[in-house]
Amino acid sequence: MDFGPTRVRSSRNFHRIRNSELLSDARDALKNVKKEESTPNQDVIGGIKPPVSSVLVEYESHEGFEALSKAAVFPTTSSPVMALPSHFLWLLGGSKSQTGKSEPKAPSLPIEKFFVPSEVELRERLKPLQMSEQIKELFQYTRLTEAGVRLKYMIACQLEDILSSSFMPLCSVAPFGSSVNGFGKHGCDTDIVIRPTSVEEFGDPQSRLVFETKAVPGNQRLQTQLYLELIGDLLANHVPGCSNIIRILQARVPIVRFNHDLAGTQCDISMDPMGHRMSELLWLCTQVDPRVAPLVFAVRRWAQGVQLTNPAPGRWISNFSLTLLVIFFLQSTSPSILPRLHTLANWAASGQPTL
């Protein structure tokens, strides 16, 4: 499924169109989405306030997405810019026909809207329920929706296209962590991993014709830091919607952090594949038993309420550590609710579905 864009809103009311076939669908959808005034402190995620009116459009085929891309133009500026196509577009407003009359109202399109209650609304909904029902409702109303997951994949797709067209043609970019492991909460940050394709996978290994390449440092960590430094420059200068670029290269796992203003989320880019593999393991646990994710959400909520966790880094236990403790407990019951680690490893080796 190809994502065609307009600006995307990550907020209480999220608009989404599926299986779009026509170029006009994105344009018509934007005409039909009402302008909404946000209240103070509403829809601000990680200090980022997304655009007011946005639509996430999914195209049924790659041809539909290509048609939209070919119809789009770059903004005219007085100075030359490096023109890189983007998955995020915006629609000029106030268009009228040559006769001076407004265009007819666009036909109604099936638009999905995802409602995320405020803290006060959530408490009121949970108050009359029994504990087991509260856990289910808490999970239902605060979990990352399918549209939210697809939005994060679209961010990764945007970065992969730009990296592939610039200096990393042999790479793949994918979200990991809470974005895809089944434990994601509405408004969670977006963790992204860049995985360079192995040169052994490119071309015929028996060929005598070899590309001339630039020598790279033998130190893997230094090489990763150099790549991320370059990626930070690319984000700052050429990727639309990216701001507040911070290079955290001396951390145990070097990352580049930035705000994606068009999607309303904070992103961390790394090149360590271990996070992606851990995400697969956690996702597999949510598929074994549907009660796992709601229980983890409840434990996290309790830990937040008693100030056991804190969004700021420090001596507090993290949500990730809490999740692992819950999984370990479910593996240790008799009979066990979740399979032991060696069983999960055997499943992974046997080709079970992954992310």
For residue 87, what are the CA distances in angstroms to 49, 95, 133, 302? 19, 23, 40, 39
Q: How far apart are CA 143 and CA 116, in angstroms?
A: 9
Mean pLDDT in residue range 136-159: 90
Among 115, 132, 152, residue at a domain's last position = 115
Do 14 and 75 lie in one domain? The reply is yes
In-domain check, residue 205:
no
The pLDDT of residue 39 is 41
In-domain check, residue 63:
yes
Do 179 and 291 lie in one domain? The reply is yes
Do 8 and 34 lie in one domain? The reply is yes
In-domain check, residue 243:
no
The pLDDT of residue 4 is 45
- Give the pLDDT band of residue 71 (cuts 50, 70, 90): confident
- Average pLDDT of every residue of the chain: 77
Domain residues for the domain of 85 are 2-115
Tell me the whole-structure pTM to 2 decimals: 0.77
Q: Is 313 left (phi over 0), alpha (psi -120 to 50) or beta?
A: beta
Bridge partners for 143 per DSSP: 185
In-domain check, residue 255:
no
Q: Tell me, rounded to whole angstroms, the distance of Cα 29 from its chain centroid.
A: 22
H-type alpha helices, the chain: 23-32, 62-71, 119-126, 131-142, 146-164, 220-238, 274-288, 292-305, 319-332, 341-349
In this structure, what token pair is assigned to residue 355? 């992310």
CB proximity list for 300: less than 8 A, separation 6 or greater? 185, 309, 319, 322, 323
Among 52, 85, 115, residue at a domain's last position = 115
Q: How far apart are CA 239 and CA 158, in angstroms?
A: 9
In-domain check, residue 305:
yes
More confident residue, 110 or 269: 269
- Give the pLDDT band of residue 254 (cuts 50, 70, 90): very high
More confident residue, 297 or 33: 297
Do 169 and 296 lie in one domain? The reply is yes
